[in-house]
């Protein structure tokens, strides 16, 4: 078929010309996309000296792709729609200018050991951008130039990347080493570019190359991890990419774009489709947070790791939908996005009548170590997210952390990130200090785990949901195994407004334990309570147990602003011990519960009274792992049980009691069996 190939066809352009003559909004969007064409016609090209002029990982090579993409969008579109030869000529000169470069990546890669690299994210982005420009002006350049340009784009962009990542004769990377988002991008972008060049590469086995590409990308999607190199699987069994939502988009949308372009040429790509994880659309939407903006509903995304809270996800949304991988929940997000001019040319519609945000559960758990829950899918609702999983690269040292979004924006925070070449990126933002975790003796995970991976991952080990509370339990021990042999975090999320935390630790030697909390606003101490205020948003943190927790205000740094200092809260145990139990309660809003500590023989607990509800949560010290052969038998507030934790949820008006038993095999009262099992389980039972 004739060019253009990649995103729309000659037939699409003919149809689009007719549409913009009849549709004023389409025409306005087209004029907006091409309004700076005259300015771009006079713009100087990025020079090779400038590209090499910064001593950093990427130099200034990102500027090549940025300039090419801007020109391809405005000038290429104007040429195809209006036949403006000046626009095509500028793109022809741009291609000729950039193919005269020695390389499209920084000198730093030449110096890498043990072997030099020949491609990176800059060069692959540049490859696709130049190939796109080539595709758009194809009928305006001579046969000799078509062949020359295709050959040089292949030599400078496609071949170096696929030689490093794909070709068996030269490949230096494996999914286990560079198999995070780089693998997807550095293969899929040049492979997509190859589709535009293929007719003018007579000496290249394009079909054979694409077969290799399909297998390489399939290995990325179905990668199952590597024990020896501490690598976790890329996508868990719910379709979630472990490396934060921002890189979920980057590392997923790029190969999905390739898949869509490939199937425009060749039909179904069975190799790649068979490897795609199920439910990626709903995994993405589980982290979405609807908020109000100027009378509209917009979406942000929970920002663990190197992700950003306020950030559009249009690319992954678009290509999940284009590849028929969407869901009713994702279609709601799509309905908030405008199409761009290339979408309009192709005929892609962002709007779907199939949308239904409530088709997705309000609480979702992921085996990669996340739980996300919310009180509703309405804008500006309350959302809690917990992470206890893998650490490597863009996934931070933060096992056991939690974030709360409240009344439209984050309130209990993840500190985010800064520029990757800033010294504070690794020294602060990626470490425990920047998260809401438990530390031991002022220390957290080893910094080296960002490079070497987490040998023993954190995990979400339990979840039980009732109509008015959610119980989550995280094993945070693995990443802290150099400091302790037990570190368990139990979260009780009550009425979508009160978070009770039980933190149990067993240290290798006498040590303190520290509870850290990052927040938006100001914090004021009043005895064992800490009031957090940000305008209308308020919360109270109560330190329940042990008594005498030592408060200090630590210095942190806000998201993307490493030069600024902001406080965060640290509560340290008053004594250094081998064993620790910490109980804290964080309540949102101004209306406060009455919270107190109580204890009995070998147990400690928290009592919460609000309105007609009284809740007691009791920790059984006999169940902290120190016994062998003997069971963890105890009497907890009149109940005979071996449970790790017992929660008594009383409705005084109705005269009913609901019981949550965490990790117990029996529950009895007054000689009557309420629950019995030969193995320990977490269960909810009513009315005893």
pLDDT tens digits for 57-77? 899 999 999 999 999 999 999
Can you tell me which residue has the tokens 């790649």?
272
Is residue 673 located within the same domain as residue 644? Answer: yes
Residue at 334 is within a domain: no
Residue at a domain's end among 281, 315, 340: 281
Q: Any idea which of 323-332, 567-576, 623-632, 647-656 has the lowest mean pLDDT?
A: 623-632
Residues 16-24: what's their mean pLDDT?
Answer: 95
Does 181 score more than 80 pLDDT? yes
Q: Report how far residue 178's alpha carbon sits from residue 230's, in angstroms, rounded to the nearest whole number.
A: 13
Is residue 584 located within the same domain as residue 609? Answer: no
Is residue 162 located within the same domain as residue 228? Answer: yes
**Length of the chain, please?**
688
Are 457 and 478 a contacting pair, CB within 8 Å? yes
Q: Report how far residue 388's alpha carbon sits from residue 366's, in angstroms, rounded to the nearest whole number.
A: 10
Are 235 and 241 a contacting pair, CB within 8 Å? yes
Report the chain's mean pLDDT, rounded to a whole number. 96
Is residue 164 located within the same domain as residue 180? Answer: yes
CA distances from 180 to 186, 220, 283, 429, 552 (A): 11, 8, 18, 20, 38
Convert the pLDDT of each residue in 221-254 to its tens digit: 999 999 999 999 999 999 999 988 999 999 999 9
What is the CATH classification number for the domain harbouring 517? Answer: 2.70.98.70
Is residue 171 located within the same domain as residue 116? Answer: yes
Would you tell me the crossing angle of helices 85-98 and 143-153 to the nearest 10 degrees? 40
Q: Which helix (H) or strand (E) holds 473?
A: strand 469-475
pLDDT at 1: 54
Q: Report how far residue 517's alpha carbon sits from residue 586's, in angstroms, rounded to the nearest whole number.
A: 10
Closest CA to 200 of 155, 257, 166: 155
Is residue 209 located within the same domain as residue 83? Answer: yes
Does 2 score more than 80 pLDDT? no
Q: Report how far residue 59's alpha carbon sits from residue 51's, in angstroms, rounded to the nearest whole number.
A: 6
Residue at 616 is within a domain: yes
Residue at 339 is within a domain: no
pLDDT level of residue 115 (50, 70, 90 thresholds): very high
Q: Indicate the pairing of strand 577-588 with strand 438-440.
A: unpaired
With residues binned 3-state (H G I as helix, E B as strand, rest as coil), the percentages for the chain, rounded to 5, are 35, 30, 35
Q: Any idea which of 157-166, 176-185, 524-533, 568-577 has the lowest mean pLDDT?
A: 176-185
pLDDT at 686: 81
Residues 143-170: what's their mean pLDDT?
Answer: 97
pLDDT level of residue 5 (50, 70, 90 thresholds): confident
Residue at 413 is within a domain: yes
pLDDT at 688: 60
Are 376 and 246 a contacting pair, CB within 8 Å? no
pLDDT at 441: 97
Residue at 625 is within a domain: yes
pLDDT level of residue 436 (50, 70, 90 thresholds): very high
Residue at 321 is within a domain: no
Residues 6+ apart with CB under 8 A from 386: 370, 371, 372, 400, 401, 402, 460, 472, 474, 491
Residue at a domain's end among 542, 567, 592: 592
Is residue 164 located within the same domain as residue 243? Answer: yes
pLDDT at 687: 66
- Report the SS3 class of residue 86: helix
Residues 656-671: what's their mean pLDDT?
Answer: 96
Structure tokens at 441: 């003796």
- Report the SS3 class of residue 583: strand
Query: pTM score, two decimals?
Result: 0.95
Convert the pLDDT of each residue in 367-396 to its tens digit: 999 999 999 999 999 999 999 999 888 999
Does 311 score more than 90 pLDDT? no
Q: What is the DSSP track for 503-530?
A: EEEEEEEEE-EEEEE-BSSEEEEETTEE
pLDDT at 312: 86
Is residue 580 located within the same domain as residue 663? Answer: no
Burial string for 92-124 (b: 16+ CB within 10 Å, else e) reads bebbeebbebebbbbeebeeeeeeebbbbbbbb
Does 527 score more than 80 pLDDT? yes
Q: Report how far residue 488's alpha carbon sits from residue 57's, in angstroms, rounded to the nearest whole number.
A: 39
Instruction: Please confirm whether the linkage preceding 145 is cis (ω < 30° from 0).
Output: no
Give the CB-side neighbour count of residue 64, counting CA atoms within 13 A. Answer: 35
Can you give the residue range of the structural domain that contains 644?
Answer: 594-688
Does 4 score more than 90 pLDDT? no
What is the CATH classification number for the domain harbouring 276? Answer: 1.50.10.100
Residue at 293 is within a domain: no
Q: Report how far residue 488's alpha carbon sits from residue 475's, in angstroms, rounded to the nearest whole number.
A: 5
DSSP lists the bridge partners of residue 685 as 659
CA distances from 117 to 103, 213, 472, 523 (A): 11, 18, 44, 49
pLDDT at 448: 84
Is residue 618 located within the same domain as residue 675? Answer: yes
Convert the pLDDT of each residue in 447-490 to its tens digit: 888 888 888 999 999 999 999 999 999 999 999 999 999 999 99
Structure tokens at 289: 């947070």
**CA-based Rg of the chain, rounded to a whole angstrom?**
28
Residue at a domain's end among 231, 254, 281: 281
Residue 548's φ and ψ, nearest 5 degrees, are 75, 20
Is residue 527 located within the same domain as residue 614? Answer: no
Is residue 30 located within the same domain as residue 136? Answer: yes
Q: Which helix (H) or strand (E) holds 88?
A: helix 85-98
pLDDT at 615: 98
pLDDT at 259: 98
pLDDT at 454: 86
CA trace torsion 446, 450, 455, 459 (10° rounding): 90
Residue at 5 is within a domain: no
Convert the pLDDT of each residue in 486-519 to its tens digit: 999 999 999 999 999 999 999 999 999 999 999 9
Are 8 and 342 a contacting pair, CB within 8 Å? yes
Q: Report how far residue 39's alpha carbon sits from residue 43's, in angstroms, rounded to the nearest whole number.
A: 6
Convert the pLDDT of each residue in 586-599 to its tens digit: 999 999 999 999 99
Is residue 504 located within the same domain as residue 639? Answer: no
Residues 6+ apart with CB under 8 A from 185: 121, 124, 125, 250, 251, 254
Report the number of distinct structural domains present in the chain: 3
């Amino acid at each position: 078929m004739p060019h253009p190939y990649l995103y729309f066809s000659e037939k699409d352009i003919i149809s689009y010309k007719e549409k913009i003559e009849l549709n004023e909004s389409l025409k306005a969007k087209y004029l907006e996309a091409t309004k700076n064409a005259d300015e771009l016609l006079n713009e100087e090209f990025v020079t090779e000296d400038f590209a090499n002029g910064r001593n950093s990982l990427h130099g200034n090579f990102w500027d090549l792709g940025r300039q090419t993409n801007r020109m391809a969008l405005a000038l290429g579109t104007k040429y195809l729609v209006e036949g403006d030869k000046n626009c095509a000529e500028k793109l022809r000169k741009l291609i000729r200018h950039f193919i005269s470069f020695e390389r499209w990546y920084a000198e730093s890669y030449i110096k890498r050991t043990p072997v030099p690299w020949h491609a990176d994210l800059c060069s692959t982005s540049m490859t696709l951008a130049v190939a796109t420009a080539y595709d758009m002006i194809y009928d305006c350049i001579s046969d000799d130039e078509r062949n020359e340009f295709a050959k040089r784009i292949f030599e400078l962009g496609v071949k170096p990347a696929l030689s490093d990542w794909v070709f068996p004769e030269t490949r230096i990377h494996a999914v286990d080493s560079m198999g995070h988002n780089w693998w997807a991008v550095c293969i899929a972008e040049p492979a997509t570019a190859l589709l535009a060049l293929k007719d003018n590469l007579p000496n290249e086995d394009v079909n054979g190359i694409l077969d290799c590409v399909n297998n390489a990308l399939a290995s990325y999607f179905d990668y199952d991890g590597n024990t020896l190199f501490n690598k976790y699987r890329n996508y868990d069994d719910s379709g979630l990419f472990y490396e934060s939502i921002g890189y979920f988009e980057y590392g997923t949308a790029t190969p999905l774009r390739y898949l869509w372009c490939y199937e425009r040429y060749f039909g179904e790509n069975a190799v790649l489709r068979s490897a795609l994880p199920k439910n990626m659309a709903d995994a993405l939407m589980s982290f979405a947070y609807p908020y109000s903006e100027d009378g509209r509903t917009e979406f942000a995304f929970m920002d663990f790791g190197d992700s950003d809270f306020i950030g559009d996800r249009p690319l992954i949304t678009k290509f999940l939908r284009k590849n028929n991988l969407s869901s009713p929940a994702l279609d709601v997000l799509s309905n908030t996005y405008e199409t761009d001019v290339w979408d309009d040319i192709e005929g892609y519609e962002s709007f779907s009548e199939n949308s239904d945000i409530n088709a997705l559960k309000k609480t979702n758990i992921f085996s990669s170590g996340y739980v996300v829950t919310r009180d509703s899918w309405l804008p500006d609702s309350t959302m809690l997210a917990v992470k206890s999983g893998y650490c490597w690269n863009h996934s931070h040292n933060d096992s056991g952390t939690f974030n709360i979004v409240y009344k439209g924006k984050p309130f209990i925070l993840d500190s985010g990130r800064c520029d990757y070449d800033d010294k504070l990126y690794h020294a602060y933002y990626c470490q425990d200090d920047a998260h809401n975790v438990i530390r031991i003796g002022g220390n957290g995970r080893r910094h080296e785990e960002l490079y070497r991976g987490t040998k023993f991952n954190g995990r979400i080990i339990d979840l039980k949901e009732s109509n008015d509370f959610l119980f989550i339990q995280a094993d945070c021990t693995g990443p802290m195994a150099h400091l302790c042999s037990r570190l368990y975090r139990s979260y009780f999320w009550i009425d979508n407004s009160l978070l009770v935390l039980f933190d149990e630790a067993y240290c290798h030697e006498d040590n303190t334990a520290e509870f850290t909390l990052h927040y938006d606003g100001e914090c004021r101490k009043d005895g064992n309570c800490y009031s957090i205020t940000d305008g209308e948003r308020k919360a109270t943190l109560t330190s329940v147990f042990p008594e005498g927790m030592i408060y200090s205000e630590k210095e942190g740094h806000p998201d993307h602003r490493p030069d600024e200092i902001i406080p965060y809260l640290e509560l340290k145990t008053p004594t250094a011990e081998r064993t620790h139990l910490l109980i804290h309660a964080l309540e949102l809003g101004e209306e406060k519960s009455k919270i107190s500590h109580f204890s009995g023989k070998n147990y400690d607990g928290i009592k919460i009274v609000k309105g007609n509800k009284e809740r007691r949560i009791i920790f059984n010290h006999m169940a902290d792992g120190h016994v062998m052969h003997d069971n963890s038998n105890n009497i907890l507030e009149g109940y005979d049980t071996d449970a790790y934790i017992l929660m008594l949820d009383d409705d005084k008006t109705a005269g009913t009691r609901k019981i949550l038993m965490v990790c117990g095999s029996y529950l009895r009262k007054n000689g009557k069996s309420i629950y019995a099992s030969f193995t320990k389980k977490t269960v909810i039972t009513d009315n005893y």
